[in-house]
Structure 1
Amino acid sequence: MLQGLAAISTTALALAGGPLAAQDRTIAFTGARILTMAGETIDNATLVIRDGRIVAVGSNVTIPADAERRTMEGSVIMPGIVDTHSHIGQVAGADSSSPIQPEIRALDSIDPLSSNIAKARAGGVTTANVMPGSGHLMSGQTYYMKLRDGKTVEDIAFEWKDGSALGGMKMANGTNPMGGNGFPGTRAKSASLVRENFVAAKAYCDGDRKKRDLAKDALCEVLSGDRLVHFHTHRADDIMTVLRLKREFGFDVLIQHGSETWKVADELARAGIPVSNITLDSPGGKLEATGMKMDNAGILERAGVLVSIHSDDPIVDSRMMLREAALAVRGGMSREGALKALTINGAKQMRLDARVGSLEPGKDADFIILDGDPLSAYSHVMETWVEGEKLFDRSRPEDLLMATGGYGAGSPMEASHHHWEIAEAEAGQ
Structure 2
Amino acid sequence: MTQTTINQYAPLRFITAGSVDDGKSTLIGRLLYDSKALLSDQLLSLDKSKNNGEVIDFSILTDGLEAEREQGITIDVAYRYFSTAKRKFIIADTPGHEQYTRNMVTGASTAAAAVILIDATQLDFAQAELQLLPQTKRHSAILKHLGTPHILVAVNKMDLLDFDQHKFNAIVMAYHKLANQLAINNVQFVPVSALQGDNIVHKSERTPWYQGEALLTILENLPSNENLSTQPQDFHFPVQLVSRLDQDKADDFRGYQGRIEAGSIKTGDKVRIEPNGYISQVVEIISPNGIVQQAFAGEQVTIRLADDIDISRGDSFVAENSTTQSTQALTATLCWFDQRPLNLARKYLLKHSTQTVFAKVSQIDHVLDVKTLSKSHESEQFILNDIGEVQIKLQKPITATTYARNPATGSFILIDEATYHTIAAGMIL
TM > 0.5 between the two? no
Whose strand proportion is higher, 1 or 2?
A: 2
Higher RCO structure (Cα 8 Å, ≥6 apart): 1
Report the TM-score, using the length of structure 1 for normalisation: 0.27
Larger radius of gyration: 2
